[in-house]
Structure 1
Amino acid sequence: MRIVLEFAPSDGKLSLPLHYNSEVQGLIYRNLDRALSRWLHDEGMPLGKRRFKFFTFSRLLGRYRINGDTIEFSGPVRVHIGSVHEEILESLALHLLREPQVRLGKEPCEVAGIEVEPLPRISRPMLVRTLSPITVYRTLYTAEGKRKTYYFNPSEEEWEELILANLRRKARALGWEKPRLEGLTGAHIRPVRVGKRDERIMRYRETVIKGWTGIYELDLPEPFFLLAYDAGLGAKNPQGFGMVELFGSD
């Protein structure tokens, strides 16, 4: 399930840190039922040492200009939010309908609209466009034993492998059985229109994260496509990474 929220800044302008993902994430957590928010933040759905939150969100969409370390939006601002757990989005929507005056970061806004996105028509393969960067990585160690995070790019073979492996782990965390998991055999995600300008170097709190925007060919069985569509592709989805939309289907 996916929804689109529209915010109207109180004075017509919304000023946020240039790297604002934690502000959007914080708005989501603050506007859920308290017990649901605590479960989502602290627990999620475990698989081994990993815990999956199964939600993601887009970049903020609207007219903006960048001034140093801040980004200023003029007029309405929209954000897409997806989750495999409908109760999360229902709780968020109900809370915002009851209390439409919110803060995005430190800025007061009013919720001007809430829409439920229609389900996409699925075929194989499909073209998708990123609404937030896709990121996958491995943690490596130098000869001196120092920990280093290596972020892959779409031209590297491991990029696709890690995205598909991540998608399989998400399915396992949801309790999918082995025959259903085997449907991912032969699936692929390939860059179609991706260049150097699509590289995004972002900061989430104190962590630097590298990801990629662009247009990709996605060939997945329908259950896996819907999982990726609602929960995001790749890693760090709850921090605002890996959301896609259909491209060229109108």
Structure 2
Amino acid sequence: MLLELQPQLKGREIPINYQYELSATIYKILAKADTGYAKWLHDNGFMSENKRFKLFSFSRLIVPRYGIDKERQRLIIHSDFIRWHITFLPERSTQQFVQGVFNDQRIEISDHVSGVSFAIREVQVMPLLKYAPVMEFETMSPVCVSRRNEWGKADYLSPEDSDYASGLLIGLLARYRALYGHDYKGDTSINFQLLGKVKPILVKIKAGTSGQTFVKGYQYKFRLALAEELMRIAYEGGLGEKCSLGFGMIKLN
């Protein structure tokens, strides 16, 4: 789904690390349409082996003209319109439901320093994936894959790490189990190949609060060979970890 957002009169500055605020915005919009569904999604999501999956992902904001205030950690919006992509996996989130929920809404992206109010001027439902056994994609938000170290902390893996592809597969199989309630029984082979340069992205979550944490992801173009059911989950629900916090959205290259 593609949203076209128009900044309103209240300021033109948002935090550079806005992923957490965007995630909260999705819940707020869903809550306006169906409080029970939004609360369940927030509190529970889809369960698999005691892990919770929200099964949606979203892109970084596409801002044609902007400035950066590094000292104040602000993104200054100069464009009259910006774009934002969101994808949903739950069956409840059909095209009609999602499009109806987001049409003619207003959202606010802000923290304790500054924020911007936006009007959603247009909602476009994007075409479904036309599957092929080997496909090429690029990331629209950083992809995060981690591995626990000996101290129980997360080591964020580079796409060039030998364990990276298996980490992607583990996440997709867990999402499949959460969505359908049973293990995937088909072909679980995966072939992941980078196409070009890799860009690391370090993101602050809950920036400036006592709960502030850092998550590292990577942006890149890649070729992927994967079974159709798992390829669709990657395309519609995100790739890697922490997708509902603004990681792992991909598009066709």
Query: Pairwise CA RMSD of aligned residues?
Result: 1.9
Could you say what secondary structure the match of 2:68 adopts?
strand
Question: What's 1:125 paired with?
Answer: 134
Question: What's 1:47 paired with?
Answer: 48
Corresponding residue pairs, total: 236
Q: Does 1:28 align with 2:26?
A: yes
Question: Is the contact made by 2:165 and 2:190 (CA closer than 8 Å) also made in structure 1?
Answer: no
Compared CA separation, residues 120 and 208, structure 1 to 2 (3 A) = same
CA distance in 2, matches of 1:181, 1:65: 49
Aligned partner letter, 1:222: E
Compared CA separation, residues 86 and 107, structure 1 to 2 (3 A) = farther
**TM-score, reference length from structure 1:** 0.88
Question: What's 1:79 paired with?
Answer: 84
Per-residue CA deviation, residues 143-174 of structure 1 (Å, 9 max, x unaligned), is: xxxx4221010111111111111111111122
Question: What's 1:216 paired with?
Answer: 222
Aligned partner letter, 1:227: I
For structure 2, list consecutive stretches of 5 or more residues without a partner in the other structure.
207-211
CA distance in 2, matches of 1:92, 1:66: 32
**Structure with greater helix percent:** 1
Sequence identity, in percent? 27
Question: What's 1:170 paired with?
Answer: 175
Query: How far apart are residue 120 of structure 1 and its match?
Result: 2.4
CA distance in 2, matches of 1:96, 1:172: 28
Question: Is the contact made by 1:135 and 1:211 (CA closer than 8 Å) also made in structure 2?
Answer: yes
Could you say what secondary structure the match of 1:150 adopts?
strand
CA distance in 2, matches of 1:76, 1:54: 27
Q: Does 1:199 align with 2:208?
A: no
Aligned partner letter, 1:181: K
CA distance in 2, matches of 1:107, 1:177: 42
Aligned partner letter, 2:19: N
Matches within 5 A, 1:115-154: 115-142=124-151, 147-154=152-159
Per-residue CA deviation, residues 101-129 of structure 1 (Å, 9 max, x unaligned), is: 33222321111100000012221211100
For 1:235, which of 217, 230, 241 is the aligned residue?
A: 241
Could you say what secondary structure the match of 1:29 adopts?
helix
For 1:161, which of 157, 161, 166 is the aligned residue?
A: 166
Per-residue CA deviation, residues 158-210 of structure 1 (Å, 9 max, x unaligned), is: 111111111111111223655x53322x2222212133xx1111111111011
Query: How far apart are residue 53 of structure 1 and its match?
Result: 0.8
For structure 1, list consecutive stretches of 5 or more residues without a partner in the other structure.
none
Question: Is the contact made by 2:11 and 2:116 (CA closer than 8 Å) also made in structure 1?
Answer: no
